[in-house]
Chain A
Amino acid sequence: MGNSDFSARRKAYIYTMRFLMIASSVITCVISFSIIIYVLFKGLPNISWELLSSKPSYISEKIGILPDIVNTLYIVLATLIIVIPLGVGAAIYLTEYAKSKRLTSIIEYAAETLSGIPSILYGLVGMLIFCQFLGMKTSLIAGSMTLAMMNLPTIMRTTQESLRTVPMSYREGAFGLGAGKWRVIRTVVLPCSIDGIITGCILTIGRILGESAALLFTAGFAHELNGLVKGLQSSGASLTVALYVYAKEQGEFEVAFAIAAILIILTLIINFIARALGNYFKNRGSN
C-alpha cells in the first residue's frame, strides 16, 4: 500500500500547515491586543478632566493637552478639505475620462511610489516647499498641506478602486437613456461607490491622527489655544507630536501614555465609524 504512506505524508503536511496558520494568527492577535491593552492600562488612569480641558503653563507647572486636541482637529479638518476634492477629482478623471492608458498608468505608478515614501521625507519636502519657499513658516496649514500631499495617493487609489467596482452595465444603462457623462458619474457612479470613498476618507483621518514625523518639521510644537483661522497660521503641536515632546523631552510619561490612550480610542472610534458608514451606504442601495 504505497498510498497510505502518501496519505500519511499529506496529513502531516496539512496538520503542519494548519498549525503554522493558527500560530501566526494567534501571534498577530496577541501582539496587537497586548499593545492596546497595555497602553490603555497605563494611559487611562492618567486622563483627567483637567488634562483634557486646560493648556500647559510653566508658571503653575500644569500640563494640559486641550491645545493639542484642538490642533489635531484643525489639522484633520484642513487636510481633508484639501485632499478630498483633489484625490476624488483625480480618481474620477483617471477612471472615467482619461483616454490615454499610458498616462493613467504613469500617474498610478507615481501615486503608488509616493505612498511608499517614509513620512519624514514628506516632512522635509513640506518644510522646504510650504514653510520656506511659500513662506507659510512653521504652521498648522503647512503641516496640513504636507499631510494632504502625503495622503493624496491613498485617497486617489481607494476612490479609483471603488469607482471600478461599479458595474459597466450601470453606466451603459444610463448612457442608453441619453444621460451625459457627468450626469452618469454624479447620479449613478458616485452613489454606487460612495461607501468605498468614505471608507478611504475615514482611514485617511486615522493616518492623519497617527502622523508625527511629517508634522515635526512643518507644524511645530506650540501649545497655544487659537481660533481656526489664527490657529492654522500659527505653529502648533498635534497629539502625536505632543506625545513625542512629553515623552522624549520632558520625561512626562504619564501624560504621554494618556495621549496614547486617547489616540488609540480615537482610532478605534474612527474604524468603527468607517465600518458603520460603509455598511450604511452599501445597504442603502438595496432596500
Chain B
Amino acid sequence: MNVFSIENMNLWYGESHALKDINLDIEEKSITALIGPSGCGKSTFIKSLNRMNDLIPNVKIEGNIKYKGHDIYSPDVDVNELRREIGMVFQKPNPFPMSIYDNVAYGPRTHGIRSKAMLDEIVEKSLQNAAIWDEVKDRLKKSALGLSGGQQQRLCIARALAVEPRVLLMDEPTSALDPISTAKVEELAVELKNNYSIIMVTHNMQQAARISDYTAFFFLGELIEMSNTDLLFSKPSDKRTEDYITGRFG
C-alpha cells in the first residue's frame, strides 16, 4: 500500500523553481531513502510532506501530494493533525530546553493528554521505542540539553514517536552524529519500519544502501529515478544516477 502518492508536484521559492514535476509513490512500513547532491531539493521535498514549508514565506506548491489518498494541501486539512500523523526528525538534534520527560510529553500534552499516569506510560514507551530508555530512565527530570548529540537525536525520535505518528520524516538525522550514534539511529530506523513508514533524506550513500528498501535519486530539483535500493545501487537506469553513486560528483 502507498502511504504517499505524489503527482506532478512543482515547488517554487519565490522565482526559483526548486522541485520540478515530481511523481513518486511511497510504500508504507518501509524505509525510503532520498539521495542526491546538496541543493537538489530532497530536504525541500520532505518538508512538503508535512507542510513544514508553510513556515517559509513565498513558497508556492502545485500538483498533488496525497497522504492515504487525501490531498494534504486541500483547505479542509487540519495542519496540526497532519503533523501529528506525519512526524519529523531534524538534521540537527533540537530538543527543547526542558527536562527529558517534558520533551517527550510535549506532543501528547499538545494533543490534550493531561493524565499523569497516561503521560508516564507514553514517555516510557516512546523512550523505549527510541532505544534510549536505559540511558535516561534515572534522569528524566534533568535537562535534555545535558545529553550527548546522539542521545539528543534519539530523544527527538522518542518525542516524535510519542504522538503516535504513522510516518516519520527524517531529514539527514545522522549527519551531526558520530559513527556509533549513527549506527544506533540506523538500527533504530530499521526496527521502527515494522510499525512506521520512514522517509529519510541522507547524504551518506552507504547509509541508504544499508538500511533503505527504496531509494530515490534527486538531481537539480528533478526526481531522476526511484527503485528498489538493491536495484538502484547495482543497476541504475540513468547515467546521472550511476555517476552520483559511483562518486563521480556530489
B98 interface residue (CB < 8 Å to A): yes
Chain A residues, CB < 8 A from B142: 287
B92 interface residue (CB < 8 Å to A): yes
In the complex the two chains form, is A285's CB within 8 Å of B87's CB?
A: no
In the complex the two chains form, is A173's CB within 8 Å of B110's CB?
A: no
A230 interface residue (CB < 8 Å to B): no
A124 interface residue (CB < 8 Å to B): no
Residue total for A at the interface (Cβ-Cβ under 8 A): 22
Query: Given A169-B90, A183-B110, is A174 in contact with B163 using a C-beta cutoff of 8 Å?
Result: no
Q: With A and B bound together, what is the CA distance between A167 and B163 in angstroms?
A: 23
Kindly specify which of B76-84, B209-217, B223-231 makes contact with the partner chain: B76-84
Q: With A and B bound together, what is the CA distance between A192 and B94 in angstroms?
A: 13
A95 interface residue (CB < 8 Å to B): no
CB within 8 Å of B: which A142-186 residues: 167, 169-180, 183
B52 interface residue (CB < 8 Å to A): yes
Q: With A and B bound together, what is the CA distance between A191 and B111 in angstroms?
A: 20
A128 interface residue (CB < 8 Å to B): no
In the complex the two chains form, is A99's CB within 8 Å of B57's CB?
A: yes
Return the contact of A187 from the options B57, B106, B146 (Cβ within 8 A).
B106
Q: With A and B bound together, what is the CA distance between A286 and B94 in angstroms?
A: 14
Q: Kindly report which residue of chain B lies nearest to residue A287, judged by CB atoms.
A: B143
A270 interface residue (CB < 8 Å to B): no
In the complex the two chains form, is B83's CB within 8 Å of A192's CB?
A: no
A188 interface residue (CB < 8 Å to B): yes
Distance between A28 CB and nearest chain B CB, rounded to angstroms:
36
Q: With A and B bound together, what is the CA distance between A285 and B142 in angstroms?
A: 10
Chain A residues, CB < 8 A from B92: 169
Return the contact of A172 from the options B52, B95, B110 (Cβ within 8 A).
B52
In the complex the two chains form, is B96's CB within 8 Å of A188's CB?
A: yes
B159 interface residue (CB < 8 Å to A): yes
Distance between B180 CB and nearest chain A CB, rounded to angstroms:
23
Return the contact of A176 from the options B50, B57, B111, B146 (Cβ within 8 A).
B50
Distance between B129 CB and nearest chain A CB, rounded to angstroms:
16
Q: With A and B bound together, what is the CA distance between A140 and B90 in angstroms?
A: 53
Query: Given A99-B57, A187-B106, A287-B146, is A175 in contact with B96 using a C-beta cutoff of 8 Å?
Result: no
8 tightest Cβ-Cβ pairs between the two chains A and B: A285-B97, A178-B84, A169-B94, A176-B88, A177-B107, A178-B83, A178-B80, A173-B94
